[in-house]
Amino acid sequence: MNLQKSLLRIVGRQGRFKWGDNYSAGIYAVPGEAPKGSRVCRLNSRKLGRALHLLSTPERIFAQLALYNPDVFELHEQKMLSPVPDIHPLQGHPFAAGLELLPVKGTSLVAEEIGLKHATAVLTYSDGERHRVPHPYLGDLLLYLKPQGSAPYAVNWTVKLSALDFDEVARGNLKSMEKQKEDREKARLRHALEEEYYLSAGIRTARVSRDMLDPVLVGNLDLLYGYHDREISVESNLLEDFSHEIEDCVSHGAPVATVALKYGKRWGRRDLFLTKIYKDIWERKLPVSLFDPILIDHPLVTDASDVLQIYGSLYAGLPE
């Protein structure tokens, strides 16, 4: 990797970011930027009005879980951790007007405090002088939330495939005991750096991994997300009537597909009415279990726990 090129790209995209700008990820999910071997994904979001650049399957899964929460109003993926002291990530957002927000320390200072050798890159200046400067680290997903009636806050999600992956860099590789010990210490310091960086601004970091989520939930989130931003060119009154009939079906334990077939036969475009079903589930208008397969030609399960209650701790900020 060309560290000078990487540094200039990240700082160029995010070094002067302020609310109101179009957010640009520090790394794009494209060849030449994403790490080799990563399973990149660009995820269009209606809520954010842009595509998210995600570098792994677990990042995609947790981005969908984040956006499922109606309290999440923004999400920054591949977010630069500033090497120098900087303003709180929420500073300047209209929701945060009047709030006293702590700044972040900067990773250079945090690295010095915890005994981590900070990543660096060599920059060549216009006069030919070469200087070694701190290279920015990147976080995975930074969530911004505003519960109804409460102040906004941020939560940092650091994402792995398995919870064990937080304990060791390149955990699956064959290595000597000495190398294994070295990689465990690297992992400990890297995660401590990120956690302390955000903690300095009063932001909690949650470690999240694919193996902590129910596989059926993962499949359902992916299914629903695929429909969430599709346009439905049907009159609003007709869609409202359709949704009421769907609600009745669900409450009486009848398959909702029959209603979609009926409306499709009468009004055409059955696919649009099917889309409306999935959109209503995604938008939490239908109290359907996401821990059971969503089969619209069968009665939908409604008596399971709510996803946002089961995983509510992931969205929580620091205790006051």
Which residue has tokens 């995010």?
Answer: 14
Residue 44 structure tokens: 């269009």
DSSP 230-291: ----S-HHHHHHHHHHHHHHHHTT--THHHHHHHHHHHS-HHHHHHHHHHHHHTTSS---SS
- Tell me whether residue 155 is in a domain: yes
Does residue 88 share a domain with residue 69?
yes
- Tell me whether residue 320 is in a domain: no
pLDDT value, residue 1: 56
pLDDT value, residue 233: 83
- Tell me whether residue 234 is in a domain: yes
Q: Which domain holds residue 249?
A: 215-310
Number of structural domains (the chain) is: 2
Does residue 136 share a domain with residue 32?
yes
Q: Which of 213, 232, 247 delimits the end of a domain?
A: 213
pLDDT in tens, 28-39: 999 889 888 889
Q: Which residues pair with 138 in a beta bridge?
A: 80
Q: By mean pLDDT, which of 36-40, 86-90, 137-141, 307-311 is the weakest? A: 36-40
Higher-pLDDT residue of 108 and 126 is: 108
- Tell me whether residue 318 is in a domain: no
pLDDT in tens, 252-279: 999 999 999 998 888 878 888 899 999 9
- Quick count: other Cβ atoms within 10 Å of Cβ 91? 15
Residue 307 structure tokens: 């996803």
Reduced to 3 DSSP states, what percent helix, strand and coil does the chain have, rounded to the nearest 5? 40, 15, 45
CA–CA dist 196, 156 (Å, integer): 11
Higher-pLDDT residue of 146 and 318 is: 146
- Tell me whether residue 82 is in a domain: yes
